[in-house]
Amino acid sequence: MELVVARIGRPHGVKGEVTVQVRTDSPEVRFTVGKRLTTDRENPSELVIASSRLHAGTWLLTFQGIVDRNQAEELRGVMLSADIDLEEGSEDGSFHVAELIGSQVIHRGASLGFVDEVLSLPGQDLLSITSADGERLIPMVKEFILEINRSTKTITVELPEGMLD
């Protein structure tokens, strides 16, 4: 599945290097030399990483064919996507947000609705669920999430009394 991994920022220096705003948990894997990244533009629709490095907490990339500051400036704001294996990280119980969107949430055998969005808050993530009753927010904590089933796209929850009122 194609997922956004970065947004190109400003040029760095005069030889085509750019800063990127990271949108992945694994930049050291996503930003390796030779990796092909899809862009949100027609021209170029794909960029190949020629070099990558971490400098003062910021990732800097160069791409094949981008050799000067002017070319790098034209890339500012471009979103970069990579083909991600959604099974990555499944051993530690983690999920990509894209896997959860559209999942049906089940509570005590009844559907609560479908996940629209996962809100990332400082304390915890929240599932935003749309149902006939409107929007519901469910904290993504071990006490409430019993099972996330990738194959059936269902999330089984057990919620305390009164939480659905």
CATH (domain of 26): 2.40.30.60
Residues 63 and 125 in one domain: no
| Pairing between β-strand 46-55 and β-strand 2-11 as defined by DSSP bridges | unpaired
Last residue of a domain, one of 38, 55, 84: 84
Mean pLDDT of the chain: 90
pLDDT of residue 93: 61
Q: Residue 14: inside a domain, yes or no?
A: yes
Do 113 and 134 belong to one domain?
yes
- The reply to whether 102 and 76 lie within a common domain is no
Tokens of 58: 């910021």
CATH assignment of the domain containing 147:
2.30.30.240
Looking at the fold, whether 78 and 30 belong to one and the same domain comes out as: yes
Among residues 1, 87, 69, 68, the alpha carbon closest in space to that of 38 is found at 1
Determine, yes or no, domain membership for 164: no
Q: Return the bridge partners of 1, or none.
A: none
Evaluate whether 38 touches 49 at the Cβ level (below 8 Å).
Answer: no
Q: For residue 91, is it within any domain?
A: no
Q: Is residue 89 part of a domain?
A: no
Query: How far does the chain reach from its first CA to its final CA, in angstroms?
Result: 37
Residues in the chain: 165
Say if residue 113 is in the same domain as residue 147.
Answer: yes
pLDDT, tens only, 65-94: 999 999 999 999 999 999 877 555 455 566
State whether 28 and 102 are in the same domain.
no
Residue 5: CB atoms within 10 Å: 23
The type of residue at 48 is V
Cis peptide bond N-terminal to 44, omega within 30: yes
Q: Which residue has the higher pLDDT, 154 or 92?
A: 154
Question: What is this structure's pTM?
Answer: 0.61
**SS3 per residue for 62-89:** EECCCCCHHHHHHCCCCEEEEECCCCCC
Domain hosting 145: range is 97-157
Domains: count for the chain? 2
When comparing pLDDT for 9 and 121, which is higher?
9
Q: Does residue 63 sit in the same domain as residue 104?
A: no
Q: Is residue 156 packed enough to be buried (19+ CB in 10 Å), middle (13-18) or exposed (0-12)? A: middle
12 and 58 assigned to the same domain: yes
